[in-house]
Structure 1
Amino acid sequence: MNTAQISPSSRRQFLAGAGAIGAAALMSGCVTAGSSDGGDGGQSAGGTLSVQSNLSSPQAKSAMQNLMDAFDKRGGAKAKLNTVASETFRTQLPTYLTSANPPDLLTWYPGSVADTYAKKNLLLDVSDIWATGELAGYSDAQKKLCTDSAGAKVFVPASYNWWGVFYKKSNFAKWGVQEPATWDEFMALCETLKSKGVTPIGLGAGAGTAWVASAWFDYLDIRINGAQYHRDLLAGKHRFDDPEVHKVFDQWAQALPYFDPNGTALAFQDATTALLNNRTGMMLIGTFFADAAPKDQVGDLDFFRFPVIDPKVPLAEEGPTDGYFASAHTRHKDEVKELMSWLGTVEAQEIYLKGSSGISIPVNPKAKDSGTPLVVKGRALIENAPDVTQFFNRDSSDALQPTADNALTKFLAKPKEIGSILTAWQRDAQQVWSQ
């Protein structure tokens, strides 16, 4: 699936979290069958499966319909697609899953978000379909990502994007610089660019897109403290004012002199435009930004992995994944498992990729991608990573993301006040975790 279709007014398509389960009690308790033009979901009549999708852009919706049509032609179970706008889907997701008549299958994403629902016994255990067939050949990182905290597999991944430090190849050639591998090399690169009159690092954490700064926090934390510490921190098992987190900001402070001074005033779309227009040298961003890049510039884009800080810490990467989970209350468990197993195949993932837009990568290790150098490099980055994180809110919750937005924005403005900033962040986060 393509998580790349983001606009300022719907950034939650990328960052949407689990939502509050308790809020479902305030919503309608029954979800009825709807149309592919925006119905509310619900199990279809007879033996037809209801598939509820948030992939509402024309190309993504068409690609999903191609998937359903191909599944239907196989014989056996049938599937009906219901599509709603991503914001509506996010808001209604707790209702879908707690309804007396839920959709059979839903698009969304794995990790902490799926586990939140699994803990409420709302997701179907599909561990058996992972034991055989093409799902058995998925990477250990993806298998781990699709497993809930009780050890059951509750998700089938379909595609992913990745984050990296993007730049223009023509600019690096013109400036006579190369990709850095370590933090020291990265700092030296920043100093070289600054000496040439180039703003080294773009950001884009303003105008409603403060969440972009979370990528810096994520990567610094997984490079310094490791991916498991990072996930435990976001789950409330560590404190945001711990010494380990202070180390993250000590490291970040070294790079602050090289950031665009307007970085917290620009939306990420404007910041990526600055990169494309040669006003900044690099930007830590997800591949979704390339959807809006002029086609004649996409071939000039390249990226490098976030630099190594501690060689002893395994190099986890941020690879937000999308796919499917099923309602635990579906009345068509066997048919749902049949569909989910097929959605994990080479055939299904290549059908979707051919009809969708953006730089997304099929999760099935044997499925073909677009074959462009950028995608080949990104795929290798994620598939060879010893661990894969998602993004701040995907590894925590939608409710925790605003606490990060607030803390990181304050740090960027007043880095010397990091002590009080982290104390306040821990207080705000604790309020979220205690709910």
Structure 2
Amino acid sequence: MNTTTRTSPVSRRGFLLGASALGTSGLLAGCLGSEGTPEETGTEQTGTDETSSEPSGPVTLQNSQSDPAPREALEALIGDYPGDAEINTVAIEQFRAQLSTYLTSANPPDVLTWYAGSVARDYAAEGLLLDVSDMWEGEGACANFSDALRELSSAEDGSQIFVPTNYYWWSIFYKKSAFEEWGVSAPETWEDFLALCEDLKGRGVSPLANGIGSTPWMASGWFDYLNLRINGAQYHRELLAGEHAFTDPEVEAVLEEYTKLIPYFDPNMASYSYQEAVTPMVQNESAMYLIGAFVTQFFPEDQRDDLDFFSVPPINPDVPSAEEAPTDGYFAASGTDNPEGTKELLAYLASAESQQTFIEISGSSNLPTHPDVDTSSFSPLVQKGIELLNSTEEITQFFNRDSSDALQATADDALTRFLADPSDIPGILEGWQAAAERVWDQ
């Protein structure tokens, strides 16, 4: 679906570096030391010819957040923007497939929603992203971000090419009232977790929700966490960077453990999207869902306070604890004909007021990156999420964010085939490795 609205007038220590003084006001140091335009802050134009004629027309925001609540939130922000801007919204899978085309077109969108980390670096390496380093210096828009957040937003050459505005945690979500009805509690060990799944299945409940139909990347959630719990965050990052093979015995051990979960997934998961997979949980037909905190927006309002979560229990006691905390925000096309206006829109979207508006309207449990957003009034669930990320030893992003969108496609194929038929793990891993090598050799 397409809409247009126009308006006018690393390690945990590294991830949290510089943020400890913020307490529950946010793990990441803030954005917008000043809301001045590039001219007002003395920054320089980058990515285009400064002698070019004055650009005409609105600054465009290409938006992948097509779920109703975040879409409404971004449309409201663009509607209140004092400059000239428009927003175009497409479904996330269509956006992902067309992202390279957007960035390489003769008239690209100016600003695009997407992810920090490796996936942004890949596009920057192709020269497709606007250098926004001036927004990170002096009194620029993101000058007060932590070193870890700057690193997440940097290209290989050290320049900044991303403006992060929110982040969230992954965990296993469940409804407190349902657990109480079934007389069960959150497990503390992996063995207890598997026993809980067996218990719930015996009651006629699908223990694990999932939606891998139109959103096959959801299969990577469990792969990531099992790899983190069995082999550790360092091995996981190295694997996704091509320093290990998917045929390694370490990866085979991950899929062997993953096999134990297959009988407990909702049998309809291959026909659900990640949003649709929530419905059986709403109806107490499925019990638990490994997913990001954005899942809260898909529950009815009268059930959101009923939600709780627990982290995937440890499996290998010798590896450090690790959690996934993907960071979202915006980058800009290097081909924009209006870098000044583009940076003004980026600064507006990153402001404390805009982040507060987005979180309130979207009903999301995402955490703001700006320190001036007061999180003290956030729900107990969000406060618990902050505590989880404060206490873990390692932070990762998500499969494609720690690798690339192209490598994500290889995972989608391999893992959905595995979930449909896990009988030939070596064969699946051989095929995955061959596909991954083609990506790494590009």
Q: Shared topology, TM-score over 0.5? A: yes
Query: Secondary structure at 1:241's aligned position in 2?
Result: coil
**Structure 1 pair 140–226 and aligned structure 2 pair: CA distance change class (3 A):** farther
The structure with higher relative contact order (CA 8 Å, sep 6+) is 2
**Structure 1 pair 279–56 and aligned structure 2 pair: CA distance change class (3 A):** closer
Cα deviation code 1:175-217 (max 9, x no counterpart): 3332223323323433443455544323333x43433221110
Q: Does 1:186 align with 2:193?
A: yes
Query: Secondary structure at 1:394's aligned position in 2?
Result: coil
Match of 1:296 in 2: 302
Q: Does 1:284 align with 2:293?
A: no
Equivalent runs, 1:346-357 vs 2, <5 Å? 346-357=352-363
Q: Does 1:217 align with 2:235?
A: no
Equivalent runs, 1:300-315 vs 2, <5 Å? 300-315=306-321
- The counterpart of 2:399, out of the listed 392, 412, 417, is 392
Larger displacement relative to structure 2 (62-71 or 214-223): 62-71
In structure 1, C-alpha distance between the alignment counterparts of 2:79 and 2:284, rounded to whole Å: 44
CA contact (8 A) 2:211 2:218 kept: yes
Letter in 2 for 1:223: R
Equivalent runs, 1:8-407 vs 2, <5 Å? 36=5, 46=55, 50-54=59-63, 55=65, 60=70, 63-64=73-74, 66-68=76-78, 72=82, 78-86=83-91, 89-90=95-96, 92-99=98-105, 101-132=107-138, 135-139=142-146, 141-194=148-201, 196=203, 198-205=205-212, 207-264=213-270, 266-269=272-275, 271-330=277-336, 332-333=338-339, 336-337=342-343, 339-369=345-375, 371-382=378-389, 385-407=392-414
* Paired residues, number: 395
In structure 1, C-alpha distance between the alignment counterparts of 2:352 and 2:410, rounded to whole Å: 39
**Structure 1 pair 313–366 and aligned structure 2 pair: CA distance change class (3 A):** farther
**Structure 1 pair 349–261 and aligned structure 2 pair: CA distance change class (3 A):** closer
Gaps of 5+ in 2: 8-47
Match of 1:27 in 2: none
CA contact (8 A) 1:226 1:313 kept: yes
Measured on the aligned residues, the alpha-carbon RMSD in Å equals: 3.6
**Structure 1 pair 385–67 and aligned structure 2 pair: CA distance change class (3 A):** farther
In structure 1, C-alpha distance between the alignment counterparts of 2:115 and 2:58, rounded to whole Å: 20
Match of 1:18 in 2: none
Quote the offset at 1:102 in angstroms. 4.2
CA contact (8 A) 1:44 1:80 kept: no
**Structure 1 pair 131–186 and aligned structure 2 pair: CA distance change class (3 A):** farther
Match of 1:422 in 2: 429
Quote the offset at 1:328 in angstroms. 3.2
CA contact (8 A) 2:117 2:402 kept: yes
Query: Secondary structure at 2:247's aligned position in 1?
Result: coil
Quote the offset at 1:418 in angstroms. 0.9
Cα deviation code 1:231-286 (max 9, x no counterpart): 33223332111122112123223444444455445554554322222223222123
**Structure 1 pair 387–259 and aligned structure 2 pair: CA distance change class (3 A):** same
In structure 2, C-alpha distance between the alignment counterparts of 1:210 and 1:313, rounded to whole Å: 28
> TM-score if structure 2 supplies the norm length?
0.75
> TM-score if structure 1 supplies the norm length?
0.76
Match of 2:31 in 1: none
In structure 2, C-alpha distance between the alignment counterparts of 1:301 and 1:44, rounded to whole Å: 54
Letter in 2 for 1:316: A
Query: Secondary structure at 2:329's aligned position in 1?
Result: strand
In structure 2, C-alpha distance between the alignment counterparts of 1:79 and 1:49, rounded to whole Å: 5
In structure 2, C-alpha distance between the alignment counterparts of 1:61 and 1:200, rounded to whole Å: 31
Over the matched positions of the two proteins, sequence identity in percent amounts to: 48
In structure 2, C-alpha distance between the alignment counterparts of 1:383 and 1:324, rounded to whole Å: 25
Gaps of 5+ in 1: 1-9, 14-33, 73-77
Quote the offset at 1:47 in angstroms. 8.2
Query: Secondary structure at 2:166's aligned position in 1?
Result: strand
In structure 1, C-alpha distance between the alignment counterparts of 2:67 and 2:239, rounded to whole Å: 34
